[in-house]
Amino acid sequence: MSSSPVSSLPLITAKMGKVHKGNSDAKDKKTEFSLVRVKSTWKSKLGKKINKDVVDCVSAAKIYESITDRGTSWTVVSPITFTYKVTETYGLLDPSNDTLLLGHITDPQQLEDIKTSNKPIRRFVVIEQEVFQIYGAKLTEYLEANDVVYKILALPTTEENKSMETALKILDDVNNFALDRRTEPIIAIGGGVCLDIVGLAASLYRRRTPYIRVPTTLLSYIDASVGAKTGVNFANCKNKLGAYIPPAAAFLDLSFIQTVPRRHISNGLAEMLKMALMKHRGLFELLEEHGCMLLDTKFQVDNTLYGHSSIKAASQATRIAITTMLEELAPNLWEDDLNRLVDFGHLISPALEMKVLPSLLHGEAVNIDMSYMVYVSHESGLLTEEEKQRIISCMVGLELPVWHEEFTMELIQKSLQDRLKHSGGLVRMPLPAGLGQADIFNNTSFDILHRAYIKWNEELSVSSDSTCDV
């Protein structure tokens, strides 16, 4: 699957000038300047009408000059466009498949120039250590078969070492390899932690070096790989340092998932279920009906028990999950709007996950959060008892935890208070309002939160082992 290009146009405002005491209501005179390039020099031109015959280039940026009795200020409005590709492919490490090396290039002329050039392709690859143990030989064979000058850095990338120290280790090796910061993207191969760390390192090196994401877990396949977030943990807080710099491309190959342990498949299904509950009833019903099959087959073609229905369900589930995720991310790539449905399951789970490291995987912590919030929705009158039970049964069927002893009322209150500080003074709590429907709420009372917590504890604290009926 190849997605539509994702772009956004943020505004960058720069203000300068002397500070004067005076009338704060003083009228200002705002003058608009266009920016044009003439013989390598940028110049400001008054007004909107530009004779394009006498200039080399007209920028999309504008400068607005304001003069008041307090001084002069300049407001810069500079559109920034990011375009990146999310592409499903097969046989990514097949030497005859050039997607990994050239699939990020969108300019046909640039692509042709590279193919006809005698200059060797150079690539710096960061790969999760456990992934390297499985695919290292195949990756090396692929690079050498395509005459690539390469450096492979295999690292243990876990939540415990998701840190600036790891990012700086990567940058030290990148610097020694001497990458071209515009034409030689760093390739990250691994789970979400690996993709996040490499993305941050790339965004720091020479202020932005392109990078490519290759997810090897189900969670990173449908979540980390399709967005723009990069980051590392800091001050015992999850992803407290980071940036919004999307990859040049994300290449998705489901065949990597076949070597992932069953628990990690379940872990990824939690983020898939999140999108189902927020946006897509059909995806929820697919997971409800075929979740065990997807776990058994690891999203691969199964020619024995399930036949080709397994890959059909896998393809539908991943495509819907990615599409719904991109729908939410593309118009809000920099999170200028803090009302985000994709935050469902992420209000309490970051604190829970960091508190109990390494006992819970990310998706498991998210699912425990979602499980509790389903009870909040029910107590708020947004879900019926039947809908609540269907959701919890689906979670159990996906072999996800629905309760944890460290998920306390104290943790809930502290997490929501912290959210107020970082979400513009509002809780912005996404809650399901039916199957595949959701809204964001700011006024959920403590009474509702507490009643939901009591019922959640009573009904789910003694959980039975989940089983899949074949």
Return d(Cα 285, Cα 287) in angstroms, integer.
Answer: 5
The candidate with the shortest Cα–Cα distance to 434, out of 316, 324, 276, is: 276
Scan for tokens 């513009």, then name that residue.
424
Return d(Cα 374, Cα 389) in angstroms, integer.
Answer: 9
Residues of the chain with CATH 1.20.1090.10: 262-460
Provide the residue-wise pLDDT of the chain in tens; the chain has 470 residues.
Answer: 433 333 333 333 333 333 344 444 445 678 999 999 988 899 998 977 788 777 888 899 999 999 988 899 999 999 888 889 999 999 999 999 999 999 999 999 999 999 899 899 999 999 999 999 999 999 999 999 999 999 999 999 999 999 999 999 999 999 999 888 788 999 999 999 999 999 999 999 999 999 999 999 999 999 988 999 999 999 999 999 999 999 999 999 999 999 999 999 999 999 999 999 999 999 999 999 999 999 999 999 776 667 667 788 999 999 999 999 999 999 999 999 999 999 999 999 999 999 999 999 999 999 999 999 999 999 999 999 999 999 999 999 999 999 999 999 999 999 999 999 989 999 999 999 999 999 999 999 999 999 999 999 999 997 544 444 43
Return d(Cα 332, Cα 249) in angstroms, integer.
Answer: 18
Asked if 298 is an active-site residue, the reply is no
Which residues, including other chains, have CB under 8 Å from residue 6's CB and lie 6 or more apart? Answer: 82, 83, 84, 86, 228, 246, 326, 329, 330, 333
Pairing of strands 186-190, 211-215: parallel
Pairing of strands 122-128, 186-190: parallel
Q: Topology of domain 85-259, per CATH?
A: Rossmann fold (3.40.50)
Q: Is the pTM of this model over 0.85?
A: yes
Residues of the chain with CATH 3.40.50.1970: 85-259
Ramachandran sector of residue 265 (left: φ over 0; alpha: ψ -120 to 50; beta: rest): alpha
Q: Can you say whether the dihedral through the CA atoms of 293, 297, 301, 305 is positive or negative?
A: negative
The CATH number fitting domain 262-460, selected from 1.20.272.10, 3.40.50.150, 1.20.1090.10, 3.10.560.10: 1.20.1090.10
> Choosing from 15, 48, 62, 229, which is the catalytic residue?
229
Query: Exposure pattern of 116-143 as b/e (b: 16+ CB <10 Å)?
Result: eeeeebebbbbbbebbbeebeeebeebb
Return d(Cα 245, Cα 206) in angstroms, integer.
Answer: 13
